Amino acid sequence: MLANTLIIRADASIAIATGHVMRCLALAQAWQDSGGNVVFAMAESTPAIEARLRLEGMEIVHLQASPNSIEGARTVSALANDRQATWVIVDGYRFDSEYQRDLKDTGLKLLFIDDLGQCKHYSADIVLDQNVHACEKMYANRKPCTQLLLGPRYVMLRREFQVRRDWRRKIPQLGRKLLITMGGSDPDNLTLRLIETFPRISVPDIEITVVAGGSNPQLAELQRRVAELDLPIHLVGNASNMPDLMAQSDVAIICAGGTLWELLYMGCATLSYFRTPVQGQIIGELDDMGAVHSMGSVEDFDQNSLVRTVEETMACLDRRERMARLGRTLVDGEGIGRVLDSVLCSGTDCTALTMRAVEPDEQEDFLKMAEQHFRELNPMFTPAQDWKKSFFEKIENDPKYSLRWIIVDGRPAGFILFGVEEHRFLPRLTGAIYEVYVIPEQRRKGIARACAKQVINELWKSSPSKIQLEVVEGNAGATELWRSLGFQKVTERFVLTEKDRVTK
């Protein structure tokens, strides 16, 4: 469990920055799920964004200093010290090389989220660029210790999309459900221009859902215009169920931003406009791959082009199938875990983190550590004679169990016990993780998570039907760790230990 605070520096005063806050929210949620706290430090924001962050249990601190200045970096550093935070996440086009250097000079660890390699030099601990074009050459001018996370495999999706990991889209022969969403504020009022175009679109039994973001000042005007049109249009203000709306839609019209990656993950055929050259490059690359259809710049909006493209996409099953396939291939939903692992591993020297089998002559050392582990879980634990005699011997002599030391800096820092068992009633195998323990002085460094992921990957190689584990009731840290790795609670285990307590 993380006893640490994450400081996120991102502003949301304009539409493109709103997307920055929302992708940071995905990392903030993952940090929370691992047991940590989150503070959003913003000089500018919107009421809708702040309401969403507070709903998620995030603290918001309003900064007075200029966002890209020495004073701004010092303000963030002071906040980090006050909250005992070691990591700062920076996301926004206004933050440059000097800002990175200024933050690093204060001793903080820095994850810098980037889109086009626009900085002259990179000194952050980690640079994340989730775009298709991202390559090492763009970040050649960086410190040797700067780690690069490049490409869509690092796209960060929020919790509400993570639960859709096993969902697969059913694509109809003819599409008819259209989704319109232009981000939080839609500063160009593109939504209204799209609505004005709807009467010209000829798609049998079309159903249109229009989402107006929480910061959209044109909501009343949109409501008035929708009421005037004799069309099946459902207008939603500040939708809280975007994954459901995306899942129900055959085609979506958007304006770049974070919604783009969410739609790719959801396998929804996407037609996208762009507002900035940065967005234009991203959309153009995805268009070249066939994953998205570029509608061009918002400034070049053309009704005829929109009508033609919507009708063609709704009618073309092959196009929608190809977009769905490419979308889920590009964005597999594992990005947030990869980013979080990199951040946690940067808190310790993961190259010095290894595992090895516990040898027979190490029985006494293991039992001593195991006793400490079980006493932490249950202060009343007292090792019985059979436990002392048989616990290690049973593990050592049964090939279905694997017991390993967790080695940090050449010394045991914990242990992990796992195995593969035959199903009790069926001809199947079941993977199991029985115990994970890290000594107190090595906790909050991502060690348990790193070892657990390695063991999970090893267990899958035995082709079990599932991997399962148990968590002692009240062990919140373990619960959040396993949930963050994709485990779900499916049952409760009840134990009866004293026969005289049976109710007659």
Give a three-class secondary structure readout of 415-468: EEEEEEEECCCCCCEEEEEEEEEECHHHCCCCHHHHHHHHHHHHHHCCCCCEEE
Least confident of 90-104, 288-302, 314-328: 90-104
Mean pLDDT of 391-399: 93
Calpha distance 345→446 (Å, rounded):
6
Q: CA end-to-end span of the chain, whole Å?
A: 42
User: Do strands 411-422 and 429-438 pair parallel, antiparallel, or not at all (unpaired)?
Assistant: antiparallel
301 pLDDT above the threshold of 80: yes
Q: What's the mean pLDDT when you consider all of the chain?
A: 88
1 pLDDT above the threshold of 70: no
Q: What is the structure's pLDDT at 218?
A: 83
pLDDT digits over 243-289, tens only?
999 999 999 999 988 899 999 999 999 999 999 888 999 999 999 99
Nearest one of 61, 66, 70 to 42, comparing CA atoms: 61
268 alpha-carbon distance from chain centroid: 19
Query: Which residues partner with 355 through β-bridges?
Result: 406
Mean pLDDT of 161-181: 92
What DSSP line would sit under 159-174, residue for residue?
Answer: HHHHTTTT--PPPPSS
At residue 501 the predicted structure's pLDDT band, cuts being 50, 70 and 90, is low
pTM for this prediction: 0.73
Query: Which residues partner with 212 through β-bridges?
Result: 237
At residue 447 the predicted structure's pLDDT band, cuts being 50, 70 and 90, is confident
pLDDT digits over 121-132, tens only?
999 999 999 999
Least confident of 121-130, 165-174, 183-192: 183-192
At residue 67 the predicted structure's pLDDT band, cuts being 50, 70 and 90, is low
Q: What is the structure's pLDDT at 350?
A: 52
Nearest one of 157, 181, 195, 326 to 255, comparing CA atoms: 181
What DSSP line would sit under 272-294, residue for residue?
Answer: EEESSHHHHHHHHHHHHHTSSEE
Q: What is the structure's pLDDT at 373?
A: 95
Angle between helices 385-397 and 363-377 in degrees, nearest 10: 120
Q: What is the structure's pLDDT at 348?
A: 53
Least confident of 213-217, 252-256, 271-275, 325-329: 213-217
Phi, psi of 443 (to 5 degrees): -85, 170
Give the Å distances, CA to CA, from 136 to 133, 140, 142: 10, 6, 10
Q: What is the structure's pLDDT at 17?
A: 39
Calpha distance 392→435 (Å, rounded):
13
At residue 503 the predicted structure's pLDDT band, cuts being 50, 70 and 90, is low
**Contact criterion met (CB below 8 Å) for 279 and 16:** yes
Mean pLDDT of 61-76: 80
Mean pLDDT of 371-382: 93
Mean pLDDT of 439-455: 86
Q: What is the structure's pLDDT at 418?
A: 96
Mean pLDDT of 307-322: 97
225 pLDDT above the threshold of 70: yes
Which run of H or E residues covers position 247? Answer: helix 242-248
